[in-house]
Structure 1
Amino acid sequence: MYLEMKIAQEIQHDLQHEAAVNRLFHKDGEHVATLVQMIATISALALIFVAL
């Protein structure tokens, strides 16, 4: 369970970093960032549910 939580956090952190990079390089980065963060949250929740 703990390992899955750490993996989910790592994925979310990586995607948030990617979103920040997108925000810098794209004018529509805000939309990209929001979408990426939504995906990150959903995938983190999915991993946690799988772990249970």
Structure 2
Amino acid sequence: YVLGHDAMKRMQSSNVLISGLRGLGVEIAKNVILGGVKSVTLHDQGVAEWKDLSSQ
């Protein structure tokens, strides 16, 4: 999967909101950040627990 030059320029100026940071949300956040977006805002109302350490 390859993005063209125009798509990459649009992505570089994009602001992204990711809501929910369980296992899948964390992976998505990582990939979006590595994709080169302008900014990422993370939203999660869950309380961090000891069991969450193994899923991150």
Name the TM-score class by shorter chain.
0.3 to 0.5
TM-score, normalised via structure 2 length? 0.36
Rg comparison, structure with higher value = 2
- With the length of structure 1 as denominator, give the TM-score of the two structures: 0.38
Q: Which structure is higher in helix share?
A: 1
